Structure 1
Amino acid sequence: MPIKFFSIEYDAINSRNTFTNRDKIHRRIIMETYKETKIQSLTLIAKGKGRVSFGQWDALEEQMVPVYCRYTAKEKYYKVKHVLREKGQDGGRHAFPFTFIVPDSRKIPSSFEAPKGKIVHKLKAELKQLMKPKKTTEIYVQSRHEPSRTSGDSIQVTAGIRNNASCSVKPKFVLYEKKRFFAKGEVEVYLDIKIFFSSAPQPWGSGDTMTVKHLSIEYDKVNDRGTVSPGDVLSGKVTVVTSKETKVQCFVVKAKGKAKVTWYEEEGQSTAVYCNERKYFHLEHIILQDKQKGDGSEIIAPGKNVYPFQFLIPKMDMPSSFSGKWGNITYSLRAQLTQSIWLVHKAKTEFLFLTKSEFPFASKSEMIIIGLKEQQCATRISFYGSGKITMKVTSEKMGLKQEEAMGVSVDITNDSARRVIPKFYLCEKQTFVAQSKTKVYTNDVFFGTGESVPAERSGIITKVLSIPPQLPPTFFNCCMMKLEYRLKVILDVPLVRDQEVKLPLVILLGSPKPHQPRPKRSIWFRKLSR
Structure 2
Amino acid sequence: MSFNMILSVTYDEINESNTFTNGDCISGHVTLDVTKKTKIKSFRIKLKGKIKVQWRVACSRGIRPSSKGYDDEETLIKSVQYFVGGDLGTPLLTDHNGQPYSNTIAPGRHLFPFTFDLPQEKMPPSFKGVHGKIVYFLEAKLTRLMRISSKDRIEFTFVPKPNPSNRVAQDDFTDKSWTFQDGIVSNIKAGRKCHLGEGLTVTGTTQNTSSSPVRLNFRLCQVQECCAQNQHWSHDSQDVLIERSDIIGPFRTANVTEVLKIPCNIPASLLNCRLMKVEYKLWVYLEGKHSFDSIVFGVELLPPRQQGGQSSFSEQSRSTSQASQVLHSSLLCGSPLPADIHHLFTK
Residue 349 of structure 1: how far off its partner (Å): 0.7
Question: 1:485 is matched with which residue: 280, 292, 308?
Answer: 280
Match status 1:342 vs 2:134: no
C-alpha distance 416-228 of structure 1, shift in aligned 2 (>3 A)? same
Aligned with residue 216 of structure 2, among 415, 422, 438: 422
TM-score (norm: length of structure 2): 0.75
- Distance in 2 (CA, whole Å) between partners of 1:373 and 1:481 is 30
Once residues 390 and 260 of structure 1 are traced to their aligned partners in structure 2, the CA distance between those partners, rounded to angstroms, is 45
Deviations along 1:412-471, one digit per CA (max 9) or x if unpaired, are 211102221222211111121111222222222233222211222222233221211111
- Cα shift at 1:370: 7.7
What's 1:390 paired with? 185
Q: Distance in 1 between matches of 2:26 and 2:41?
A: 26
* Residues 1:311 and 2:116 aligned together: yes
In the TM superposition, structure 1's runs of 4+ consecutive aligned residues that sit over 4 Å from their partners are 368-373
**Partners of 1:462 and 1:211 in 2: CA distance:** 67
Query: Cα deviations across residues 285-318 of structure 1 (Å, max 9, x unaligned)?
Result: 11233999xxxx8222322221101112234332
Checking the alignment, whether the CA contact within 8 Å between 2:180 and 2:290 is kept in structure 1 is no
Pair 1:406–1:317, CA change in 2 (3 A): closer
- Distance in 2 of aligned mates of 1:316 and 1:472: 20
CA distance in 2, matches of 1:383, 1:481: 37
Q: CA deviation at 1:224?
A: 4.1
Query: What does 1:268-347 align with in structure 2 at a 5 Å threshold?
Result: 268-269=60-61, 270-289=66-85, 298-347=103-152
Going from structure 1 to structure 2, the CA distance change for 1:298 and 1:251 (only over 3 Å counts) comes to same
Contact 1:373-1:398 within 8 A present in 2 as well: no
Which residues of structure 2 form unaligned runs of 5+?
89-101, 305-310, 317-347
**Match of residue 499 from structure 1:** 293
| 1:400–1:496 distance in 2 versus 1, CA, 3 Å | closer
Aligned to 1:460: 255
What SS does the corresponding residue of 2:154 show, helix, strand or coil? strand
C-alpha distance in structure 2 between counterparts of 1:505 and 1:279, whole Å: 28
1:380 aligns with 2:178: yes
SS in 2 for 1:487: strand
The Cα of 1:490 is off from its aligned counterpart by: 1.9
Tell me the SS of whatever aligns to 1:351: strand
Alignment match, 1:233: 25
Give the conservation status (yes or no) of the 8 Å contact 1:321–1:353.
yes
Cα separation, 2, equivalents of 1:272 and 1:498: 33
SS, match of residue 257 in structure 1? strand
1:221 is aligned, of 13, 28, 36, to 13
Task: Kindly report which structure 2 residues correspond to 1:111-260, keeping only aligned pairs within 5 A, or say none.
Answer: 210-212=3-5, 214-260=6-52
Q: Hey, what's the Cα distance between the residues in 1 that align with 2:223 and 2:87?
A: 53
Percent identity, please: 29
The alpha-carbon deviation at position 273 of structure 1 amounts to 1.5
Q: Tell me which protein shows more strand as a share of its residues.
A: 1
Whichever residue aligns with residue 447 of structure 1, its letter is: I
Q: Which is helix-richer, 1 or 2?
A: 2
SS at match of 1:451: coil
Q: Does the CA contact (< 8 Å) of 2:19 and 2:157 recur in 1?
A: yes
* Distance in 1, Cα, partners of 2:86 & 2:70: 41
Alpha-carbon displacement from aligned partner over 1:53-107 (angstroms, at most 9, x marks no partner):
xxxxxxxxxxxxxxxxxxxxxxxxxxxxxxxxxxxxxxxxxxxxxxxxxxxxxxx
Deviates more, 1:422-431 or 1:297-306: 297-306
User: 1: CA distance between counterparts of 2:151 and 2:157?
Assistant: 20
Amino acid paired to 2:173: Q
Aligned residue for 1:261, secondary structure, equals strand
1:249-281 CA distances to partner (integer Å, 9 max, x unpaired)? Answer: 222111111111111122222422211111122
Distance of aligned partners of 1:330 and 1:309 in 2 relative to their CA distance in 1, 3 Å threshold: same
Shift of 1:408: 2.2
C-alpha displacement of 1:348:
0.7
Residues 453 and 498 (structure 1 numbering): CA distance in 2 closer, same or farther, change over 3 Å? Answer: farther
User: Structure 1 pair 507/372, CA: closer, same or farther in 2 (3 Å)?
Assistant: farther
**335-344 or 427-436: which moved more?**
335-344
The answer (yes or no) to whether the contact 2:45–2:80 under 8 Å persists in 1 is: yes
Q: 1:356 to 1:240 in 2, by over 3 A?
A: same
Per-residue deviation at 1:400? 1.0
> What is the root-mean-square deviation in Å for CA atoms of aligned residues?
2.8
Q: Which residue of 1 aligns with 2:320?
A: none
Q: Helix, strand or coil: the match of 1:407?
A: strand
CA distance in 2 between partners of 1:377 and 1:221 (Å): 45
Describe how 1:365-376 pairs up with structure 2 within 5 A: 374-376=172-174
Contact persistence 1:235–1:310 (CA under 8 A) = yes
User: Equivalent residue of 1:476, what SS?
Assistant: coil
User: Which structure: larger Rg?
Assistant: 1
Distance 2:167 2:138 in 1: 35
Describe the shift of the 1:248–1:441 C-alpha distance in structure 2 as closer, same or farther (beyond 3 A).
same
- Give the deviation of 1:369 after TM superposition: 6.2
CA separation in 1, counterparts of 2:278 and 2:170?
A: 16
Shift of 1:410: 4.5
Aligned-partner Cα distance in 1 for 2:9–2:71: 30
Distance 1:356 1:445, change over 3 A: closer
Distance 2:151 2:232 in 1: 35
- Pick from 184, 193, 198 the counterpart of residue 404 of structure 1: 198
Q: Do the aligned partners of 1:322 and 1:329 also contact (CA within 8 Å) in 2?
A: yes
Q: Is the 8 A contact 2:168 2:194 kept in 1?
A: no
Name the CA shift for 1:290/1:426 in 2 (closer, same or farther; >3 Å).
Answer: closer
Distance 2:73 2:125 in 1: 16
Count of aligned residue pairs for this structure pair = 291
Tell me the SS of whatever aligns to 2:141: strand
